[in-house]
Amino acid sequence: MRDKVFVDTNILIYAYDRASAEKRKNAAEAVKVLWNQGNGVLSTQVLQEFYVNVTRKIGHPVSPDRARSIIATYLAWRVEVIRPDHVLQASEIQERHKISFWDAMIVVSAIQSGAAKVLTEDLNHGQLIEGVLVENPFMHQIIPDQRR
């Protein structure tokens, strides 16, 4: 059985951000693997945040039309729709695990989808939250020596 993998907004953004070359490479590779395996999961929250960020906040924004086209492509993945009871569940996870509310919403969506892990850089790599493993795909990236 293939495990579902929930993808946080920052991973999708980096996959399209030309200003962050190394992270773009890692994020695009992670997304490509999920496409090939057919086990990527998103939420309406991720799609909303993705649209706003890639059209306004990254170094080289994409056009709204291009962003809509990208989002339309991702609708082939499982997309968890945020429900009112998810807000309550996220508030409990936020309090229990001392994480941001928005990160807790990501965890709730991962739980609801049955995902085994979340790809994100916003939580601690290797952390287990409510049974969902956190994986940061940038952890193994080579960091330049800053001492020179």
CATH (domain of 95): 3.40.50.1010
**Could you tell me if residue 92 is inside a domain?**
yes
The pLDDT, as a whole number, for residue 145 is 37
Q: Considering its fold, how many domains does the chain have in total? A: 1
The pLDDT, as a whole number, for residue 59 is 87
Among residues 141, 145, 105, which one has the least CA distance to residue 122? 105
Among residues 55, 100, 108, which one has the least CA distance to residue 81? 108
Query: CA 126, CA 75: separation in Å to the nearest integer?
Result: 28
Alpha helices, DSSP H, located in the chain: 9-16, 21-37, 44-52, 64-74, 84-97, 101-113
pTM metric for this prediction: 0.89
The pLDDT, as a whole number, for residue 139 is 84
- What residues in the chain have per-residue pLDDT under 70? 1-2, 140-148
The pLDDT, as a whole number, for residue 148 is 31
The pLDDT, as a whole number, for residue 25 is 92
**Could you tell me if residue 43 is inside a domain?**
yes
